[in-house]
């Protein structure tokens, strides 16, 4: 249930509504939009009737939210949430690109990659310090040393850092280095981890599980939102199907679908979505056309030497060509790509 306040509602009106809700043991989440403030009623709403709130001063209307994802829904917040970062945002007119290696391998390669993607328009450096791998014998990442390398790259290049956190016990450590916390596809339904990142003051990039429905994905976002962290970014990274020519099937239909259901921004990872570097540029352009609010691209200066996901990583030259090709697509849907001059 949500309570939509009138545009001219006073602070005392809002306080009265919040008090009435809390008096029956329910919690509230406030969303301040351009036109209206919305009060989300969280808990078993059978304890309160809509008419009990409708009669209060300053209330425009009371609406029952039919979706199980209450705080993530468009009914709770009509405007797309714009996640403000250092000098740019995710969810606005500009589309930022996050780029870098799948895994932080060593300092030299990471710094080379960071300088390269920054020069070509990227706004965020991606890279895994902790790597969950299908095989226990595969490279698992450098851990805290990798986080230190990413922090050094941020200091030199000005790029923000997004990296994955694997367990609740690592959240404090990773938060001390990263600007954006990534929840990987394998951890999308790790509810202990979702609770933990819901309590920190860092944006969370929540990847869709490889076998997760849209509703399950949004319910995972609900865990983070209900924990108090309102800065959630959804990431479509492909789902598992019967197709064998690609690593996953990139579900681009999920982008406009989710943006219709939810106010949360949606970014797309065509690297994991396809597993093939030759398909990444086309899928990146298609993602922009579909309405994506950002892109997550794997880039490595020498993909053939990469310790993780080399076949889906772009070279610097391929990344530069892809970035140049995104501008006209973005312009066609009345948007722009951060760091890219579409007229060049």
- The pLDDT tens digits of the residues spanning 49-99 come to 889 999 999 999 898 888 889 889 998 888 899 999 998 999 999 999 999
In the predicted model, is pLDDT for residue 34 greater than 70?
no
How many whole angstroms separate alpha carbon 184 and alpha carbon 165?
A: 8
* Side-chain-side CA neighbours of residue 247 (13 Å): 19
pLDDT at residue 36, rounded to an integer: 78
Percent of the chain with pLDDT over 70: 95
For residues 110-133, average pLDDT = 91
Q: Where in the chain do CATH 3.20.20.70 domains reside? A: 83-337
Confidence category of residue 139, pLDDT binned at 50, 70, 90: low
Please determine, for residue 137, whether its predicted confidence score (pLDDT) is greater than 80.
Answer: no
Give the position of tokens 């609010």: 293
More confident of the two residues 308 and 90: 90
Please state whether 131 falls in left (phi above 0), alpha (psi between -120 and 50) or beta.
Answer: beta
Q: Which of 313, 271, 88, 307 is nearest to 179 (CA)?
A: 88
Average pLDDT over residues 37-52: 86
Query: Which fold would CATH assign to domain 83-337?
Result: TIM Barrel (3.20.20)
* H helix intervals, the chain: 11-23, 50-54, 107-119, 144-157, 171-175, 191-197, 214-226, 254-261, 270-274, 280-290, 316-332
pTM (2 decimals)?
0.89
Q: What is the DSSP letter of 309?
A: -
Pick the CATH number of 2-63 from 3.30.565.10, 3.30.70.1140, 3.40.50.720, 3.40.50.9100: 3.30.70.1140
- The segment(s) of the chain belonging to CATH 3.30.70.1140 are 2-63
Query: CA 193, CA 167: separation in Å to the nearest integer?
Result: 6
63-67, 186-190, 221-225, 267-271 — which is least confidently predicted? 63-67
Distance CA 121, CA 98 (A): 9
Q: Distance between CA atoms of 141 and 139, rounded to whole angstroms?
A: 6
Average predicted confidence (pLDDT) for the chain: 93
Q: Looking at the predicted structure, is the pLDDT value of residue 145 above 70?
A: yes
Q: Given a cut of 60, is residue 306 above it in pLDDT? A: yes
pLDDT category at 141 given cuts 50, 70, 90 is low
What is the rounded distance in angstroms from the CA atom of residue 232 to the CA atom of residue 326?
A: 25
More confident residue, 63 or 187: 187
């Amino acid at each position: 249930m949500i309570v939509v306040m009138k545009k001219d509602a006073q602070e005392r009106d809002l306080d009265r509504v919040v008090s009435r809700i809390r008096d029956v043991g329910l919690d509230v989440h406030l969303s301040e939009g351009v036109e209206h403030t919305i009060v989300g009623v969280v808990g078993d709403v059978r304890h309160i009737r809509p008419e009990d709130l409708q009669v209060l001063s300053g209330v425009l209307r009371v609406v029952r939210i039919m979706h199980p994802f209450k705080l993530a829904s468009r009914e709770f917040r009509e405007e797309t949430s714009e996640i403000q970062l250092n000098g740019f945002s995710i969810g606005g007119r500009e589309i930022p690109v996050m780029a870098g290696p799948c895994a932080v391998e060593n300092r030299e390669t990471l710094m080379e990659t960071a300088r390269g993607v920054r020069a070509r328009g990227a706004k965020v450096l991606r890279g895994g310090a902790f790597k969950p791998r299908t095989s226990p014998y595969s490279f698992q990442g450098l851990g805290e040393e990798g986080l230190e390398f990413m922090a050094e790259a941020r200091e030199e290049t000005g790029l923000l850092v997004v990296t994955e956190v694997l367990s609740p016990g690592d959240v404090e450590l990773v938060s001390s280095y990263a600007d954006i916390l990534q929840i990987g596809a394998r951890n999308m339904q790790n509810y202990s981890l979702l609770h933990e990142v819901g309590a920190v003051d860092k944006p969370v990039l929540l990847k869709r599980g490889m076998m997760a429905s849209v509703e399950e994905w949004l319910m995972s976002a609900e865990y983070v939102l209900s924990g108090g962290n309102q800065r959630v970014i959804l990431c479509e990274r492909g789902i598992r199907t019967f197709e064998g020519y690609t690593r996953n099937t990139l579900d681009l239909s999920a982008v406009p679908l989710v943006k219709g259901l939810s106010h949360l921004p949606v970014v797309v990872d065509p690297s994991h979505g396809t597993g093939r570097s030759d398909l990444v540029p086309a899928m990146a352009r298609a993602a922009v056309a579909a309405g994506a609010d950002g892109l997550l691209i794997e880039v490595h200066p020498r993909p053939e030497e990469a310790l993780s996901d080399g076949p889906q990583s772009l070279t610097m030259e391929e990344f530069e060509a892809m970035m140049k090709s995104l501008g006209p697509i973005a312009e066609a849907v009345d948007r722009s790509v951060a760091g890219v001059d579409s007229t060049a």
